[in-house]
Structure 1
Amino acid sequence: MTTSLLDTPINHHLDTQGLICPEPVMMLHKTIRKADSGDIIEMIATDPATTRDIPNFCRHLGHTLVHQETLNEAPTYRYLVKKKSAY
């Protein structure tokens, strides 16, 4: 486990750079299925569609978008997603 700049523990790293819709969301969905409740997934993407798709994914499935930022390279997008708790 590593810690981000926000001191949020990161349990999973997902690099989707160079992939376009729908692959980044599909990969996030696969990673979340394998993660434990409360785990944080860091996702790096270059597809501008992820700025719309990742927040919608979280909202519709009940996960928490902890952080979203645009990095200066290329541009590159970074997301921290927290898997929802099991009921």
Structure 2
Amino acid sequence: MEASEFDAELDARGLFCPEPVMMLHNRINDVQPGGILRVVATDPSTTRDIPRFCQFLGHELVEQLEQDDLFVYLIRRGS
């Protein structure tokens, strides 16, 4: 995934629930509405928590990938 495909990144590798979503809640505010935040995590619970976060707060989960032991998300910030 090229850096040009996203506006900011959150590296949550090695963190466990609820830390990745808590950090996401703060980091998404650094992205302009309509911008893309890339999140990289190792906690499998993010596969449940991040889609719920997006749905609840009005952000779009553009892409969700599992690469080896990494979970990668592209989130478009809502307005």
- Matched residues in 2 for 1:23 and 1:57: separation? 13
When normalised by structure 1's length, the TM-score is 0.85
Q: Which residue of 1 aligns with 2:15?
A: 19
Gaps of 5+ in 1: 4-8
Equivalent residue for 2:62, pick from 66, 70, 79: 66
- How many residue pairs match? The answer is 78
Q: How many Å apart are 1:15 and its aligned residue?
A: 0.5
Please list the CA deviations of residues 14-54 of structure 1 after superposition, one character each: whole Å capped at 9, or x if unmatched: 10000000110011110112221011000000000000000
Q: How many Å apart are 1:82 and its aligned residue?
A: 0.5
Report 1 or 2 for greater relative contact order, CA contacts < 8 Å, sequence distance ≥ 6. 2
Whose helix fraction is larger, Structure 1's or Structure 2's?
A: 2
When normalised by structure 2's length, the TM-score is 0.93
Task: Name which one, 1 or 2, has greater alpha-carbon Rg.
Answer: 1
* Aligned alpha-carbon RMSD (Å): 1.3
| Pair 1:46-2:42 in alignment | yes
Which amino acid in structure 2 is aligned with residue 64 of structure 1? Answer: E
Counterpart of 2:17 in 1: which secondary structure? coil
| Pair 1:84-2:78 in alignment | yes
